[in-house]
Amino acid sequence: MANRLANATSPYLQQHAGNPVDWWEWGPEAFAEAKRRDAPVLLSVGYAACHWCHVMAHESFEDEATAAYMNEHFVSVKVDREERPDVDAVYMQATTAMTGHGGWPMTCVLDHDGNPFFAGTYFPPTPQRGQPSFRQVLEGLSEAWHNRGDDVRRVAASVREHLQSAATLTPSPIDEAALDAALEVLANDFDPLSGGFGTSPKFPPSMVLEWLRRRSDSRSHHMLSRTAHAMAGGGMYDQLGGGFARYSVDRGWVVPHFEKMLYDNGQLLGLYARLGTDLGDRVARETAEFLLRELSTPEGGFASALDADSEGAEGTFYVWTPEQLVEVLGEEDGGWAAALLDVTAEGTFEHGTSTLQLRHGANDHERWARLREVLRTARESRERPARDDKVVAAWNGLAISGLVDAWRRLGEQAWLDAAVATGTLLWDLHMVPSTGSGQATRLRRVSRDGVVGEPAAVLEDLGCVATAYVDLAAATVDPVWLDRARALLEDALARFRADDGGFHDTASVAESRVARPRDPGDNASPSGLSSMVHALVGFSALTGEQSWRDVAEEALSTVASLAAKAPRFAGWSLAAAQAMVDGPREVAVVGRPGPERDALAAAAHTLPGAVVVVAGPGTSGIALLEGRGEVDGKPAAYVCRHHVCAAPVTDPAELAEEPPAE
């Protein structure tokens, strides 16, 4: 019999709807039931594409005996971390504080006020390597709840105090000296052998790489180039279908954790498009095609993720043996492809299979293009990984920005059309009148199958979507996108701003059982703060309204300490700071469509961190274009920064040589 999750909008929750566990969704009803029964709350957090979430579900939550014990002794609550990042953030902070590490699946046990007194991640069904079984953990917690209440209350109070003690933020400007100092710290983490930072596992450092791209020194560009080539050539990149897996389990980017996330691919699509290289163009094109082919939804948005598993195991959709290549391509082409793609008899993954790598490029590009298509078609006969088709506002904002960047570089109109369609969906479906607030229209975080979910937007949603709307305004020269961005930014200032000038991750009226989350650090996707800073800076540049820039500078100053100590987790803030030190350059390219204007626009887009808008003569509605026209009958580019404008130029070479700010 289905449990309460049968009607959930989250695909992850629906995966558990048939469990014998009597799951509840997060909400006051579950806590009221726990209080009525005098039982602790067992909180289980995961997401649909999480491999070990599936493993624990199969081993424990589908087991009748384990489920019966949970139902008797706990009120069990299942949360999709992607749908409720606010809940996940609070209890992940508790898990990290209590155990020294975090991850998913996450298991916390709470009192009736939501205070955690136990936390952990994956637990096996039987004791393994000194780790207790899940059943042993449950029995110990139940015994403590009923017989050692003083201990439970002491631990819960201590954790609650820790969660509520916000880190002391000392605002400080992130100036050029601070940026240089952060680079020194980052360089110590750089892996000169394999690219990237640290050892393993390695996550794609998209935001850090964009910061390095915006710098003018050779060391930054070396770290950027080495990492971009290593990621694109390794097994973490899907050499047949395009798109990146979530991370590499090894130092050399050979074996990924195979799930593909929208937030990674939206960011990496934009990054590779902005590189302006042959490699960047190829990866951007293939990744844009992957997004439209495999993640687009009928409503015009993009699905959250593709699972890592198919056929009951991880990676089976993506890996090959030499024999399989020969079977599909024939003896000669199969052997050539195996050598090109590092597919060996021993295998680079499991059971003699190999991920596909393209480390050195093909010496016969036409042959590889032909064989790539044959292999991709053959792969379609395999069982595909499941798709989490919920639409997350923030991640769709990242996809919009990535598609706009790819369109600017490669000119595929279908990509811009898709970005516009997604932006329209977010506005038409995700903006919902909020009861009890004078009917203010506010952003919701998720939708699925054209139905918007209940969870309210968090700061990253407002920041990423507002940034996307600024990008769409510049790309389409349609001021309606600026109006929509303004609505989101005003909401952020009204309900999310902190007293020190930074931002909270949740609104002032949001549910907060234990603590109001506030994390300025970037993770796999931009933090709410850093995404909001980018939106504010871009909006100020297009509108000419300085007040938004002032807010951005004040917010950015609250992350200065993190940027100095751990720049790997402040890459998007550092990228914004780098652009702000340089202006950012605001460029209006005005002229009749044609090769001359295209050349100017291409040169303008090479200026790191610049805000660029391209339009025909007489276009209005965006302040950056006002009063601009052709010069001597030729398209012209107008460059301003720090409230000072240079003379317009008509030669792309002059624009490309525009120096950075002193």
Tokens 């139905």 found at: 451
Strands 24-25, 75-80: pairing kind: parallel
* Torsion (CA) 374, 300, 390, 282 in degrees, nearest 10: 40
Least confident of 129-133, 321-325, 423-427, 606-610: 129-133
Domain range for 622: 586-656
Q: Up-side HSE of residue 127: CA atoms within 13 Å toward CB?
A: 4
- 422: amino acid identity, one letter: T
| Residues 612, 474 contacting (CB under 8 angstroms) | yes
Same domain assignment for residues 533 and 614: no
Q: How far is it, in rounded angstroms, from Cα 88 to Cα 44?
A: 10
Same domain assignment for residues 92 and 229: no
pLDDT digits (tens, 9 = 90+) for 58-77: 999 999 999 999 999 999 99
Q: How far is it, in rounded angstroms, from Cα 182 to Cα 203?
A: 20
Nearest to 612 by CA among 316, 274, 308, 321: 274
Mark residue 554 as left, alpha or beta (left: phi above 0; alpha: psi -120 to 50; beta: remaining).
alpha
Domain count, the chain: 4
Provide the token pair at 218: 């050779």
pLDDT for the residue numbered 9: 85
Least confident of 113-127, 150-164, 573-587: 150-164
Same domain assignment for residues 423 and 571: yes
- What backbone torsions phi and psi does residue 506 show, to the nearest 5 degrees? -125, 160
* Torsion (CA) 558, 184, 89, 247 in degrees, nearest 10: 150
Same domain assignment for residues 210 and 357: yes
Last residue of a domain, one of 164, 183, 215: 164
Same domain assignment for residues 397 and 384: no
Does residue 445 lie within any of the structural domains? yes
Mean pLDDT along residues 464-478: 98
Same domain assignment for residues 442 and 543: yes
Cis peptide before 201 (omega within 30 of 0): yes
513 vs 27, 97, 257, 275, CA distance in Å? 10, 18, 34, 44
Does residue 186 lie within any of the structural domains? no
| Residues 210, 273 contacting (CB under 8 angstroms) | no
Provide the token pair at 28: 């006051």
| Residues 28, 76 contacting (CB under 8 angstroms) | no
Last residue of a domain, one of 524, 550, 580: 580
Secondary structure class of 128 (helix, strand, coil): strand
Does residue 172 lie within any of the structural domains? no
Same domain assignment for residues 559 and 611: no
Cis peptide before 584 (omega within 30 of 0): yes
Same domain assignment for residues 373 and 465: no
Does residue 11 lie within any of the structural domains? yes
Last residue of a domain, one of 531, 550, 580: 580
Does residue 9 lie within any of the structural domains? yes
Same domain assignment for residues 285 and 203: yes
Q: How far is it, in rounded angstroms, from Cα 133 to Cα 140?
A: 11
Mean pLDDT score of the chain: 93
Higher model confidence: residue 408 or residue 2? 408
624 has a pLDDT exceeding 50 = yes
Report the CATH number at residue 523: 1.50.10.20
> Dihedral sign, CA of 409, 412, 416, 422?
negative
Report the CATH number at residue 121: 3.40.30.10
pLDDT digits (tens, 9 = 90+) for 383-428: 999 999 999 999 999 999 999 999 999 999 999 999 999 999 999 9
Nearest to 394 by CA among 525, 530, 243, 538: 525
Q: What is the pTM of this model?
A: 0.91
Same domain assignment for residues 229 and 90: no
For residue 154, the surrounding DSSP H or E stretch is helix 149-164
Same domain assignment for residues 139 and 33: yes
Mean pLDDT along residues 308-320: 93
Same domain assignment for residues 150 and 222: no
